[in-house]
Structure 1
Amino acid sequence: MDEYSEALSHYETALDIDQKALPPNHPVLASNYNNIGAVYQKMREYSKALSSCERALEIQNIALPPNHPSLADSYNNIGMVYNKMGEYSKALSSHKRSLEIKKTALPPNHPHLASSYGNIGLVYENMRDYSEALLSLEKTCEIFEKSLPPTDPRVAQSKRDVERVKKKM
């Protein structure tokens, strides 16, 4: 509904409650921080978004095994913020770390892998490295076509992304 201030208020209230009820490195707190970071990203307050997402990752690194899927989500969130900030090498590093975790935790044609390849491709596109962007975006398209019904909007979007990058080459 684009009511970011309202959402932020509720997420901060949830965080306050959970901080009182849970140990300081409980994974639920990380989830709260990721939610807050997502709202800040929507509000284009990228430094606050990054801070929240990094706090989530700190907690997860303490509370979870090293290749837990939630870590992949946090690295993805951090990568998205860095991409919005124009810090492409940091974005790429975070997205690649997310992908590596997902590769250990998910089957080879899982849609979440495709999303990671897509995020990597978009960063390469922003860096104007169109050949690398195309490789990643084609991988996205390939996985989505294998794992999703043809009517899923992600299939069509991945094809549009590939065509857009081809035109830039």
Structure 2
Amino acid sequence: MGDYSKALEFYEKSHQIYQIALPPNHPNWATSHLNFAACYERMGDYTAALKALQSAFKIQQKTFEEGNPAFAFTYSWFARVYRSMKDYSKALENFEKALMIREKALSETHPNLAITYSDTGDVHRLMSDYEKALSFHRKALNIQENVQCNPLECATTYVNLGETYRQMKDYSTALTYFEKGLKIREKKLPKNHPDLAVVYHNLAKLYLSTRQYNMGMKNVQQAVEIAQEKLPSTHPHQFGF
């Protein structure tokens, strides 16, 4: 897990099979493009990710009626790419489109709704609207802590909450949520997974802010080692960590 270049190779092989076996507007084509987009986003190649998403969206427009739940996945990935590009207004716009579809199509406790709440909250954090961020994260946790969900999605909400509280300078609450998220990720992911590097990086910022420099540098080192091993040399996290 976390080996995105290898995942890309497998997606390319399946894409070649689709070229032989499927008509050009088959829904599986859109799924294939979404898989590419997800890989490119995690690898930091946002131009390629947007191109793949646009291909997926064009197929979905020809295949599905407006408001089909399939569009929510595409809008969510558009939003994640724009968030990574720091275009937060476009990110929020696309998460809101995804949320509108999912709130109509899914039950109030559906795990995918929780994911969108958490993602939307994270964009509000990045836009410094911390109260709105907390509100969305609490909606997400209300589902994730009470319904059978993927633990890693719950971990993401914990980490998002931790980063929100860190930016609000509530360091003790931030640490509590970071530790909850880290505990799940360390249990569920390989020790060199990039998602662990994100938590180590966030913890480093917290410890440095509270003048716990030894702990801060320890977490910086852990984040950098994972990034150097698992991410392309041009990935923005290589410079951020």
Q: Same fold (TM over 0.5)?
A: yes
Instruction: State which of 153, 162, 171 in structure 2 corresponds to 1:121.
Output: 162
Mark the CA change 1:4 to 1:125 in structure 2 (over 3 Å): closer, same or farther: same
**Among 64, 75, 81, which residue is 2:123 paired with?**
81
Distance 1:161 1:51 in 2: 26
Amino acid at match of 2:124: Y
**Structure 1: any 5+ residue segments left out of the alignment?**
none
- Alignment coverage as a number of residue pairs: 167
- Larger C-alpha radius of gyration, 1 or 2? 2
Q: Secondary structure at 1:105's aligned position in 2?
A: coil
1:79 and 1:91 in contact (8 A); partners too: yes
SS at match of 2:155: helix
Identity among equivalent positions (%) equals 35
Say which of 48, 58, 64 aligns to 2:106: 64
Match of 2:181 in 1: 140
Confirm or deny: 8 A CA contact 2:124 2:132 kept in the other structure. Answer: yes
Supply the RMSD in Å over aligned alpha carbons: 2.6
Please, which of 37, 43, 55 is the counterpart of residue 13 of structure 1?
Answer: 55
Relative to 1, partners in 2 of residues 1:157 and 1:78: Cα closer, same or farther, differing over 3 Å? closer
Q: Deviations over 1:89-126 (max 9, x none)?
A: 2222212211221112236x923322211110111001
Give TM-score, length-normalised by structure 1.
Answer: 0.82
Q: Deviations over 1:50-109 (max 9, x none)?
A: 0001100000011111111111111122122122222222222212211221112236x9
Check the 8 A contact 2:115/2:153 in 1, yes or no: no
How far apart are 1:163 and its partner, in Å?
6.4
Where structure 2 has 5 or more consecutive residues not aligned to the other structure, the ranges are 1-42, 211-241
